[in-house]
Structure 1
Amino acid sequence: MEFRPLRAFVEVARLGGFSAAAKAVFSTQSTMSKAVKQLEEELGIPLLNRTGHRPVLTAAGEVVYRRGIKLLADREDLIAELDDIRGMKRGVLRLGLASVGSGTVFAQLFALYRQRYPGIEIQLVEQGSAQLETSLRAGAIDLAGALLPSSSDFDAEVVRREAVVAILPERHPLSTRSSLSFADLKDTPFILFDSDFAMHKMVIEACRRSAFEPTIAACSSQADFMVDLVGAGLGAAFLPLMVAQRTEHSAVRSIPLNEPNCEWVMAMIWRRDAHLMPAARAWLDLVRDCRAGASDPDASSGAQG
C-alpha cells in the first residue's frame, strides 16, 4: 500500500471533506479525490459514501481510518529515527497551539528557540485542544500546547497554571462580589468557547457538578469577541486570568471563581509512544528550562502523564 493515497484518505476523513483536506496538504480537490479512489480500488471496497453534501465513512472506511492513522504516525516515527541516524543539520518543528492564551505563554519561548536554533523551520497550527489531540494521533504535528487534562494516550509537561475568572456585565447584580461559584451564576446565560475547546468542557462539567445545565447564549473561538458580548449584556464568560487581564473593556468586571477543580493548566503534550525528532526534543528542553527558572511554585515539577 502506498502512503500518499492513505494520507489523502485520512485527511479527508479527519477534516470531513475533500476541499478542507486539499487545503491542509496544499493540494487540489481533484488530486485528493483521485488518491482516495486509488486507495479504494487497491483495497477493493468503498471507503466513503459520497451521496450527501459531505463524504461519510463506510464501515470499511472506519477500519482503514483507524488503522491508517497509526500506520502514518509509525511512518513519521521511522523517518524521524532515520533522520537522527543521518545527523540532520536542519530540522522542522511541527507545533500545534491552543487558540486561547498561547501568545502570552509561548511568545518568549519562540524568541528563545529561534535564537538557539535558527536553522529549524517552525510549522505552526492553531486549533482547539480536541482538534490538537486528533492532529497528534494522526502524526500531523509533533507537540501540542493544550489544556489539561488530556487523554492517557499522551505524555505532558506543564507550562503554566492560571486561575479562571468570571467576566460579568458591569450592571450585573453579582458584579460587586469578591468571588463567585458557577452555582451563583446558574440563572445567567453563559458565553462559552466553542465546543472543541477544553474550557467549554471544563465549564459544562463544573455546572453539572453543581446540579444544573447552563443556558448557553453564544459560543466563540475569540476571547475579545466574548468579552464584547458580555459588555453588551448578553451573559457571563469565563477566561484564564492572564487573558482577562489583557482584554480590556470598560463595561465588564472580572471576578475570581471560587470553584474546585477549575484551573486553566497549559501543557505541552505528545504521543506517549512517539519518537520525538531533535527539533521537538529541543523545544521540550527549552520549556523545561524556562519553567525551572520561573517563580511559579510548581516550577520544579517534572513531566506528567
Structure 2
Amino acid sequence: MSLVKYEIYSKVSELQSFTKAAEVLGMTQSAVSHAMANLEKELGFTLFHRSRGGLTLTNEGRSMLVSIRKVLHYDEQVQQEAAKITGLMKGTVKVGTFTSVSSTWLPEIIKSMEQSYPHIRIELIEGDYEAIDRWILNGKLDCGFINVDSSSHFDVIPLKKDRLRCIVSTDHPFSKRSEISVQELKDIPFIMPTYGGYHEVKDLFAKQEIQPNIRFELMAEDSIKSMVAHNFGVSILPELLLETIPKNCVVMPLKEESYRTLGLAMKFNLSPAAKRFVEITEKWLASFY
C-alpha cells in the first residue's frame, strides 16, 4: 500500500468529498475515486458511506484513519530528519487555532517562522477547544492553541492568562461604572458566546451559582459585539477579543478575578518542524508580553 493513497485518504476524510480533495491535491476527481476504491480493495472493507449527501466514514474507516495518520506523521518525521541532516529544515506543521489567537498572535508568529525557517509550511485549522483537542488526538493536528483547563490528553505549555472583561453599550446604565460584579449581571439580558468543550464564561456563572438571563447565544465574536453595541444585552469576552470594539461600546473589569489560561497543546512525539514552531511561539510571546 502506498503512502500516496494514505495521503489521499486522509484528505478525503478531512474534506468529506472526492472532488474537494482532488482540487486541493491537484488531481482529477476520477483519480482520487480510483485510488480510494483500490485502497478499499487492498484493505478488504469499505472506508466510506457514499450517498447523495456526500461521504461519511464507516466505523472501519474511522479506525483506519487514526492509524493511517500516524503512518503519515512518522513519514513526515523521517523526511524532516533527513532535511535537517542535509542542513535544510523543512516540513509541514498543522496548527489548531481559534479567532482570538488567529487575529492577534499568529500573524507575527508565522512571520517569525518564515524568517527563521522559510521552508517550513504552516497549515492553520480553526475550531473550538473541543474540536482542537479531538484533532490532536486523532492525528489531524500536530499542535493547537487551547484553554489549558479544557484538556488533559496532551503536553500543554501555558502561554498567557487572558482576563475576562464585561462589554456593554454606551447607552446601558452600567456604562459609567469603573467595574462590575458578575452577580450584578444576573437579571439583565446577556449575549452568551457559544462553542464546544470547556466554556470559561458559563463556568464563571456556575461558580457564582448564577443562571444568566440569556437573550442570544452567538458563536461569532463580531456578532456579539454588534448586539452589545445595539444595547440588546451585555456580554463577557476575553481581552484578546476586545482589542477592537465598536465605538459605542465600553469594556470594564469584573470585580471577580476571572481569566482563561491559553496554552499550546501538542503531540508527545513532535516532528522537528513542529518543535521549531513551538519554540518560535514561546520566544515571540515572551518578547511580546
TM-score normalized by the length of structure 1: 0.75
Q: Which residue of 2 aligns with 1:155?
A: 155
Q: State the AA in 2 paired with 1:265.
A: T
The match for 2:229 is: 231
Identity %: 19
Structure 2 CA distance for partners of 1:45 and 1:237, relative to 1, 3 Å = same
Counterpart residue number, 2:253: 256
Distance 1:115 1:45, change over 3 A: closer
Between the aligned partners of 1:17 and 1:152, the Cα distance in structure 2 is 32
Shift of residue 146, structure 1, vs aligned partner: 3.4
Whole-Å Cα distance in 1 between the matches of residues 215 and 9 of structure 2?
A: 36
In the TM superposition, residue 42 of structure 1 has moved relative to its aligned partner by: 1.5
Q: 1:266 aligns with which of 262, 274, 277?
A: 262
Instruction: Provide the residue aligned with 1:181 in structure 2.
Output: 182
Hey, what's the Cα distance between the residues in 1 that align with 2:165 and 2:215?
A: 17
2:278 to 273, 284, 298: 284
Q: Residue 286 and residue 34 in structure 1: after superposition, are their counterparts in 2 closer, same or farther (change >3 A)?
A: same
Q: Is the 8 A contact 1:144 1:268 kept in 2?
A: yes
Q: 1:54-203, aligned counterparts within 5 Å? A: 54-84=54-84, 86-96=85-95, 97-117=97-117, 119-128=118-127, 129-177=129-177, 178-181=179-182, 184-185=185-186, 187-193=188-194, 195-196=195-196, 201-203=199-201
Q: CA deviation at 1:150?
A: 4.6
Contact 1:15 1:21 in 2 (8 A): yes
Most deviating of 47-56 and 139-148? 139-148
**Matched residues in 1 for 2:150 and 2:29: separation?**
33
Q: After superposition, what is the alpha-carbon deviation per residue over 1:58-83, rounded to whole angstroms, capped at 9, x for unaligned? A: 23223223333333333333433444
Measure, in 1, the Cα distance between the counterparts of 2:200 and 2:63.
31
Displacement of 1:141 in angstroms is 4.5
CA distance in 2, matches of 1:120, 1:188: 50
Instruction: Give the drift of 1:266.
Output: 2.7
Greater helix proportion = 2
Change (3 A) 1:204 1:40: farther
Q: Runs ≥4 in structure 1, deviation > 6 angstroms?
A: none
Shift in CA distance, 8/40, structure 1 to aligned 2, threshold 3 Å: same
Q: Secondary structure at the match of 1:249?
A: coil
Tell me if structure 2 keeps the 8 A contact 1:154–1:271.
Answer: yes
Q: Secondary structure at the match of 2:162?
A: strand
Taking a change above 3 Å as real, the CA distance of residues 58 and 144 of structure 1, as seen in their structure-2 partners, is closer
Distance, in Å, in 1 between the alignment partners of 2:108 and 2:62 is: 41
Distance 1:155 1:253, change over 3 A: same
Which letter maps to 1:147?
N
Quick check: 1:215 aligned with 2:214? yes
Deviation of the 1:127 alpha carbon: 0.6
3-state SS of 1:229 partner: helix
Report the CA distance shift for 1:138/1:264 in structure 2 as closer, same or farther (over 3 A).
same
Distance 1:122 1:57, change over 3 A: closer
Q: Could you say if the C-alpha distance between residues 141 and 180 of structure 1 is closer, same or farther in structure 2, counting changes exceeding 3 Å? A: same
2:182 alignment partner, SS class: coil
Q: Residue 167 of structure 1: CA displacement?
A: 1.8
- AA at the equivalent of 1:91: K
Name the SS for the 1:55 alignment partner: strand
> How far is 1:163 from its partner?
0.3
- Mapped partners of 1:17, 1:75: distance in 2: 24
C-alpha distance in structure 2 between counterparts of 1:242 and 1:26, whole Å:
37
